Structure 1
Amino acid sequence: MSQKLSACTSILIGKKASRDGSIMIGRNEDAKAAWPKRLVVHARGEMPSQFVSKDTKLELTLPKISARYTATPEWTDKYGLFEEAGINEYGVAMSATESAYSNDLVLGYDPLVKEGLNEEAMVTVVLPYVKTAREGVQRLGELVAKYGTGETNGILFADDDEAWYLETGAGHYWVAQRIPDDCYAVVANQLAIQEIDFNDPDNFMYHPGIQEFVEKNHLNPHPGTFNFRQIFGTADRSDAVYSEPRVWYGHQMFSPKAAQNEQPEAADLPFLMKPERKLSIFDAQAYLGSHYEGTPFDPIGTGSDEEKHRYRPISLAKTQEAHILQTSRASKNSIHWIAMGVANESTFVPFFSNINDTPAPYKRGKLPAQLNSAYWIFKHASVLVDSHLHDFLPMLRDVQKDCNAKAIAMIQATDEKAAGLAGAKLTNYLTRQSENFATDVLNAYRQLSLELITKMTDYCPLNFNTDENL
């Protein structure tokens, strides 16, 4: 668990690319099929002044004042916190990380740092201490430059104005690019950022010594340009079957005309794309819950056995949780959407970021399974559906559609009433609304599981067409 490599899929959507003007950053956190996650709220000032990583033993002195923020830690901190995603009281959203790989040449000159700052600690030591997305990029970049990192990662940031994507390319070097307001990006376990414009500080940030490092060590295969992906990343056969098809599929979903000539295994797929229609929260959810539907590569589709297992899907059994952090909303009430377990078989539940608590089941989760935990309640329904997928999937879809529609209605009603509230009254109201709706969704999944169990009773192999008159 100390390295969640070969995992996760991310999406970033600019405010002019969305239907409602909101910014969305989201990711599937993929590691193990049974590894519970929790959703918690850290109170303002809760964080200690000293941080020691259980993963790398890195020790950091933290700022005195920490902001309130939501987070999704693991069920155990044995291997580190892995808080993964959250929104702080200033409206800054952060998701960490999208695992990637650096090439051997780069790592020869700047090796990964075993005792550095890794995924498990990034949200914890950055999100409580920044007031804008740019500050988040700068703080994380400075920490990586100073202490190094033991992994190659992509990190998502957003606030009410903009979204940023930061990538670490070696032990200490990093770059970040602002997502244009009218664009989106999908990323899948591969360094994604391409051309860097060092004369455009509005849209690019980077390690101050990265140009000198690359030039000194003759790392650039195309002098005269600075393509971060080509200089620091990989483009081998594993990328072609593991990473690139997921990016290709996102482009097919949102930019089918522009991407009509793209191939699933292409190594030069663009990082930034303009959607051919405005995207909604459900579009972002659909991408994170997708598995190549409508193509021969769908693992539960109609392709050949070889086709169905050719590419790694976006939504898969090893997803622990999926999240979409939605900022820049008209009401200024940011939302932390979370789907526990497999995104395709779960429901994204909206939690307003300005809350002071979450329901008890969302704070629970252990091994072995316990059905008083939100993670396991969603997973329970999921595995029951899996047992007879084609028979039971329609029942799950009905529950998902009902919950989705009710989520939008709840958010609209809450925004309207919240407009007249402030301070503690606003926080308490948003907390109550979030908790009530999250509880209703859990109850819907509990009921679904009972209905599935009832139907499964007649699937026992010890069965026979008996005479009901006997």
Structure 2
Amino acid sequence: WGPGPLWKPGSDELGAVWVAQRVPDGEITVCANRPRIGAIDLNDPDHFMASENIYSLAEKMGWWDPESGKEFKVYETHGEKSYSTYNARREWRVFDIIAPSLNLDPWMERYPFSVKPDNPVTAQDIMRIERDYYGGTEFDLSKGMVAGPFGCPNRYSTSSKLNPEGSYGWERAVSLFRTNYSTVVVARKGMPDWIGALTWFGYDAPHTTCYIPIYCGVTELPKSFDLGMRGGAYDVFSRESRLV
């Protein structure tokens, strides 16, 4: 973001606009390629923080009129119009997996900023979420004619001009075939620093990868992780993903 494509060093304009909202203890949030923060209260710095131009930039660009009486919401002023099939559906899916008791509507355009999970969330739960393609729901990408005889959840992008009228294309799953890598980072108390923080790392599409534990105290990785070519770790994961 910022003043726009014509901004250059020395213009005396801020180069960015940002906002942060604290996630309440015991809750989780999810952002699927769009702003999730709505109304903010900068008089409550324990829960909200923002750049000094958060309001002025929106007013200058015509995104918000303080005289209109309309409440300032970041996802409206600084975000784009987004469609359920691409953004909101993934947010619904994550919340539905960790808090099914909420019985959230998958067709809503906006969801709560954060929710309390029905049960404590583990690293394995996050891996399951990262591997998800709506299995067992009405949006299951492994079902239907397009999934083929082997139930393939992959969908390849086409020009939006080719979509039927009123359609916004395929469902956008959490796990995507063109993913380069995914991670799950865990901070564990009561352990020595060098093993207390742990990253589970998986190359290629999450729904076909296996996650490798990498401790924060590691100073060197296998040489295959340094190779971005045939014979490297990514090449092996990518090839096997295509075969699954």
Fold match (TM-score > 0.5): yes
Give the one of 247, 251, 254 matched to 2:95.
Answer: 251
Q: Which has the higher helix share?
A: 1
1:312 is aligned to 172
Deviation at 1:254, TM superposition (A): 0.9
1:263 is aligned to 106
1:308-331 alpha-carbon deviations (Å, 9 max, x no partner) = 864111112100000122225331
Q: Which has the higher strand share?
A: 1
1:289 aligns with 2:152: no
Deviation at 1:175, TM superposition (A): 0.7
1:292-323 alpha-carbon deviations (Å, 9 max, x no partner) = 0111322213x4649x8641111121000001
> 1:289-438 to 2 correspondence within 5 Å?
289-301=131-143, 303=144, 305=146, 310-331=170-191, 332=193, 333-366=196-229, 370-371=230-231, 373-385=232-244
CA distance in 2, matches of 1:316, 1:217: 35
Q: Secondary structure, in 3 states, of the residue corresponding to 1:245? A: helix
The alignment covers a number of residue pairs equal to 216
Q: Given that residues 296 and 304 in structure 1 are in contact (C-alpha distance below 8 angstroms), is that contact kept between their aligned partners in structure 2?
A: no
User: What is the RMSD computed on CA atoms of the aligned residues?
Assistant: 2.6
CA distance in 1, matches of 2:127, 2:179: 14
CA distance in 1, matches of 2:5, 2:109: 24
Q: Given that residues 262 and 269 in structure 1 are in contact (C-alpha distance below 8 angstroms), is that contact kept between their aligned partners in structure 2?
A: no
Structure 2: unaligned runs, 5 residues or longer: 148-152, 156-169
Q: Given that residues 92 and 106 in structure 2 are in contact (C-alpha distance below 8 angstroms), is that contact kept between their aligned partners in structure 1?
A: yes
Q: Label 1:223 to 1:283 Cα distance change in 2 as closer, same or farther (>3 A).
A: farther
Q: Secondary structure, in 3 states, of the residue corresponding to 2:29? A: strand
Q: TM-score, normalised by structure 2?
A: 0.78
1:192 aligns with 2:11: no
Q: Label 1:328 to 1:114 Cα distance change in 2 as closer, same or farther (>3 A).
A: farther
Deviation at 1:247, TM superposition (A): 0.8
> 1:31-42 to 2 correspondence within 5 Å?
none
Q: TM-score, normalised by structure 1?
A: 0.42
1:227 aligns with 2:73: yes
> 1:109-124 to 2 correspondence within 5 Å?
110-112=3-5
CA distance in 2, matches of 1:214, 1:193: 15
Q: Label 1:215 to 1:382 Cα distance change in 2 as closer, same or farther (>3 A).
A: closer
Q: Given that residues 290 and 314 in structure 1 are in contact (C-alpha distance below 8 angstroms), is that contact kept between their aligned partners in structure 2?
A: yes
Q: Given that residues 291 and 313 in structure 1 are in contact (C-alpha distance below 8 angstroms), is that contact kept between their aligned partners in structure 2?
A: yes
Structure 1: unaligned runs, 5 residues or longer: 1-101, 117-144, 149-171, 386-470
Letter in 1 for 2:86: Y
CA distance in 2, matches of 1:231, 1:189: 16
> 1:70-81 to 2 correspondence within 5 Å?
none
| Identical amino acids, percent of aligned pairs | 25
Q: Secondary structure, in 3 states, of the residue corresponding to 2:100? A: coil
> 1:11-22 to 2 correspondence within 5 Å?
none
CA distance in 2, matches of 1:187, 1:263: 15
Letter in 2 for 1:289: R
CA distance in 2, matches of 1:377, 1:207: 44
Q: Label 1:358 to 1:203 Cα distance change in 2 as closer, same or farther (>3 A).
A: same
